[in-house]
Amino acid sequence: MVSLEEMRKQYDIAELNQNDLLESPTDMFRNWFEKIEDLEHIEPNAAILSTSTKKGKPSSRAVLVKEFDERGFVFYTNYKSKKAQEIEVNPYGSLLFYWQDFERQVRIQGKIRKVSRSKSEKYFHSRPRLSQISVLASHQSKTLENREELDKKVKKLEKMYDGKEIPLPDYWGGYILEHRNVEFWQGRRDRLHDRFVYTKHGRIWQIERLAP
């Protein structure tokens, strides 16, 4: 077995220079995202969402970002989940996109708030039917006796809503992380990576290069 201390990988696919940057971090993110969105073996919209309790105790998990624009990055979840409980008492968090094939990562920080009920409802009904059922069947983060308990709930709900529209429950919907700080990281040889951070001041984005 190879020692973890001996594991090494050189990053040498690309570099990131000041003149490669776009004025808006949203446009810059879109530029990078469009280069990988058609790759079949990865989920390019998968990101690590980090939140914390009121006392600063952090937790992280993977989420799928379903929309982004100049206002922020949108994801959906159960409003009674652990992440939602943490957002309720400390509405600040971060998203981390890591695209290994391109040796790139994007870190996004900002305030998190709920999206409108109508927006959540529109997205909910765009999901596959069984994905809608799963929202009703699963009380996210709560203890289950076994897998069979969950499967029984799913079958019961499938029968209940056969031929009917599945309602959006009050405890499920979207959040938007309103980005105020966005860092673009490009891996480089010998750990001398390229890092640029966008920081919002009013309506202006300030760009700075960071040491690796």
pLDDT, tens digit (0-9, with 9 covering 90-100), for 92-131: 999 999 999 999 999 999 999 999 999 999 999 999 999 9
Q: What is the CA radius of gyration of the chain?
A: 20
* Letter string b/e over residues 34-66, b meaning 16 or more CB atoms within 10 A of that residue's CB: eeeeeeeeeebbebebbbbeeeeeeeeeebebe
- Domains of the chain in sequence order: 11-125+170-210 (2.30.110.10), 128-167 (no CATH)
> Among residues 107, 106, 104, which one has the least CA distance to residue 12?
104
Per DSSP, what are the bridge partners of residue 177? 73, 112
Q: Is 191 a catalytic residue?
A: yes
CA distances (Å), origin 41, targets 64, 99, 106: 15, 11, 19
3-state secondary structure of 211: coil
Residues 48 and 61: beta-carbon distance below 8 Å: yes
- Has this prediction a pTM greater than 0.85? yes
Dihedrals φ, ψ of 47, to 5°?
Answer: -145, 155
**Catalytic residue (choose from 191, 195, 203, 209):** 191
Angle, helices 129-137/147-160, rounded to nearest 10 degrees: 120
Alpha helices in the chain (DSSP H): 25-36, 82-89, 117-124, 129-137, 147-160
d(CA 199, CA 139): 37
pLDDT, tens digit (0-9, with 9 covering 90-100), for 73-90: 999 999 999 999 999 999
Low-confidence ranges of the chain (pLDDT < 50): none
